[in-house]
Structure 1
């Protein structure tokens, strides 16, 4: 059941609006002035407020401004009851612009026609309900976005660790009479390429490159597996004139 707050210093009109809207199935709350209206709004969180423009102490414009400035009430649909804004005169237009600038969503002119009030309330509640649904969708989206960002951050951290591990397997550059330099730049954070070198015999340096098809985690895992396999083999068992035989044997 939607809650509707009526703020009006006219006792008779308050009761008439209350009875009319209660007959439509709404939960109606009353306030006789602006301060009381704001307090009731903060207490009950109504979906819609009907407020008289001209009231003593605090007018409807100020009530509207304060309601719309409250983050908990800013989406409340606000209808101003006014004897102003009738006709198409310049003054009437300016007054309605003033009301819209204050945050009003709709106007009902006095003398009040109850059928018009009921229609504008129905329309206002439809917009309020749509706004609430959009807020819920946005909140769900933000929750999912945060979850995805957290998961992505974790994944990126794990990929960084994996990339660091692959780099740690690469051989340390040689320094001395024979020196080596290498640049390892996979197209992605992880790739299927790798290399190694070591002394075969005195004065003979063996160097090989691995190019595993593909990119990413799968190719990197296969590249590391092949690298570790080759490093585990005794040099004496390797025919360096036919390295393909060593790889063929690994397939077996």
Structure 2
């Protein structure tokens, strides 16, 4: 029997859930802001994080409602709600893919992503949020080698890079005019919330990071390399 609007609502009602929302993409703070906005000052709301890129929030009718839900069920309900009943179950993408800003090419061994000038030059304030859509491209089309081409003059830095799935072993960044915009701190200088921790965490399964025609300070890369070695990642530099 096919799922319908009524069957979805009946399942939510049986759980005493008023609505459920899954928030994907963006940064952790982006998702926290969106979840806080959804929750407001309502009672009987519960929120969780999943992995490094998703969160979920749901409201239930009374204290008897669920404060824990299996992530698989959350995914099924929100995906179903997106197509059947978005008023009670839905997915919010904070970095939806827009072809105006990013294109990509796929072959058996390589995924090539091209960030277009509109994303990096025309609107630099929001460029990082749009570049977050690279995460969903990577998840759908991951290959052992990923090449990311930045447009000439594009002012996008290391903070805008997406988390890489484990299937990507080599990452070649090309033409980033300011790869490390913020100075790389030593391990004694940065707190647990510093951007460098989030940056390094994106490459946990990466074996080789190649910087082709990227601008950076040698002293910054020298400080960065020991951190990358901790996750078995080798940094190579190339000029073409």
TM-score (norm: length of structure 1):
0.23
Structure number having the greater strand percentage: 2
Q: Which has the higher contact order (CA 8 A, sep 6+)?
A: 2
TM-score (norm: length of structure 2):
0.24
Structure number having the greater helix percentage: 1
